[in-house]
Amino acid sequence: MSIAVRPYQEGDAHAVAELYNRHRDNPNPVAGGITGDELARELAERGTATFLVAVDDGRVVGTFGLFHHTGRRSARAGELIADMFFVAPAYRNGVLTGRLFTEAVEWMVRTGCLVLRLTVNPANTVAFRLYRRVGCVSVGQTVPGEDGNVELHNYIPLILRSVFADLGDEVKAALGQLTSFGTVTESRDDELRSDVRLVDGVRTVDYRLSVGAFTLTASVDVDRGTVRHAELTGPDGTRRALRLTEPPYRIRLPRGRDPYRFGSNGLTVEVDGDDGTVRVLADDHHGPVFVSTWPSCAADRPAGWREGEPRDLEFTPVDHGVRITERCGDDEVRGTVTLADGVLEQHIAFTRPPGRIFQTVGLRQGTFTRGTEQPCPIGLGLGVRDASEVVAAAQPAAPGTDLVWDGAAWSVRIPVREPVRLVHSTLLERGLAAGPDGQVRLRTEFGRRTAPATPAAAPVPPVAGPRRIQLDAAAGGVTAWTEGTTKVLRSPFPRTRAFGHNPRWSAGMWVTTERSRYDRAAGLGWGVRPLAGWEEKHPLGLYGPAERLGLELTAPEDTAVPVRADVQAPEAEQDVVLWLTPHTPRHTTVVLDCAGSRRELDSRGFRQVWAAAAAVRLTDGTWLHCRPAPGAAPGAEVVLRPTDAGLLVGCVSPAGGEHAWHLSVAGGAAP
């Protein structure tokens, strides 16, 4: 077959959308698929640098995109974000995957963009190993966050441009014959660990490149995006330091400015001193109830809902809030953020249209109501399809309606008076439509509420014993739990397999510390265990000395008494999670206690939900109940995530306090 790789053309949009819609493993899935018009709009909204398509006999069979921003994240100066990298299954065993990657990087070198960023599901070991083989390194978080991916960086284009002027003709000739970075860079392992070394207080990564008969070594300052030093070793072993050319840009580093704070009536507003992100904190709620990005005057690099660039911002106090000013040459964005009587007002003026902004409602439990529609539970995939991978596929909210989120202690209301798109049920893109006076006016209302008490569950009979629980230090958790003939947990032990976005699943119950569930950059992770080993303290107790984590189970013989799981995590800084993989069919039923109501859901109908307590229907029809034990730390919640491998349950509690959970198995109808 003769495959051509070429830049995207206007008529390609529908063929690319059809390619993605045909394959569930495409990198940008949206429930129900996307249209060609949505794909074309997405490429326009992302500030696309280049988008390559692979065509075989007129059919699009592969794509690779390089973007300045993706909705989630925004690239720094000199960086591009790789996404929409997809090759049809029939073409994955050939050279097309490497060819697309290499041609994209060659385009970067030609145009002066020198650092490649990309994300990958670490449980997709084929893709993860490919990226590692072509020189991608880990410089940030080493385990997946809520989105299920880890981020990798590739600095080879930066290195080659920095040293090219001082390379001899023979080395330059060898570079000219390069067909794949996989033949150049020293292979790296596929473990989830950081490649960063701290040298004189500077975070660095090292590269060793083979260029013909020569070896090029280099050290990169990952925060400033520059090469610190480089050396060339010839065929005879002679070494010489290389003269470095500075990159044609300067990366703005965070200055660590304290946030600007103000508030009243149980609400506190924090405006980030570096990037202008607005966070609204509320009494009796764990984490912010609302987050809004800043509409940067660098319209081609707007802040994403996960990450934004540091900005040069000026803050001036005003009544009930603050005025924020950003200047980019002759362009200016000026906005005021105020809070009075439970109403957050954001008024924005600009000399030319700035970048888009994203707003996140931080209520995890409760209901969402759109206009006159019936309320639906808050959760990914519930009520509004999740378009976070292709924001252009987000659903517009009808002008003149209200969007309302009701939680246990607070409600959030957004009157739709300007363009609003629902990326999912708690993530919005707000349009910046100026009024006759040139001002954009965004209004968000907050109110206290008291949720009704959750209805008492009808008594249910316990499953007859005996109760058997087996822990294994090699697995780092519980490998088997049965109540009579009921298998409660699913475990791959003694093997290790992938589960969801976790490449190290080895037990049916285990413990990790994670980034906070409301962490903007990552969110709650997927339970990837550290590589360090565990020790058995006693038959129902394990201890991980490297992480100082402990798991203690109290399991009475009487199956009418719940199993109590106590987690010791004295050094945890954010969230502590007791993870379970219940023995369920691929699709099952869950019953959730959320913000004063009890709801029954099919696991096929959501991607993630949070609850105060949950019951999960097991394979034999019995129910596994999970709830905080009496005396557990405030802020304890249960998260449920359906995956192709089954249901993942996380019992989440904040650092500090007592991490204790009651787990029980009962028969009968749905609780």
List, for residues 503-522, the tens digit of each pLDDT value.
999 999 999 999 999 999 99
List, for residues 495-505, the tens digit of each pLDDT value.
999 999 999 99
List, for residues 219-270, the tens digit of each pLDDT value.
999 999 999 999 999 999 999 999 999 998 888 888 889 999 999 999 999 9
Per-residue DSSP letter, 181: G
Reply yes or no on whether the pLDDT at 137 is more than 60: yes
Residue type, 112: G
* Strands of 136-137's sheet in order across: 3-7, 48-56, 59-67, 79-87, 115-120, 150-154, 136-137
Q: What is the mean pLDDT of the chain?
A: 93
Contact 552, 539 (CB under 8 A): no
List, for residues 52-74, the tens digit of each pLDDT value.
999 999 999 999 999 999 999 99
Joined tokens for residue 276: 């202008």
Joined tokens for residue 461: 């009979």
Reply yes or no on whether the pLDDT at 477 is more than 60: yes
187 pLDDT band, cuts 50/70/90, is low
List, for residues 87-103, the tens digit of each pLDDT value.
999 998 878 988 898 88
Closest CA to 370 of 408, 415, 407: 415
SS3 256: coil
| Residue keyed to tokens 């229907």 | 617
- pLDDT value for 130: 84
Q: pTM (2 decimals)?
A: 0.94
SS3 17: helix
- pLDDT value for 461: 85
Joined tokens for residue 242: 């290389």
Which residues lie below 8 Å from residue 568, measured CB to CB, with a gap of 6+?
548, 549, 550, 551, 552, 659
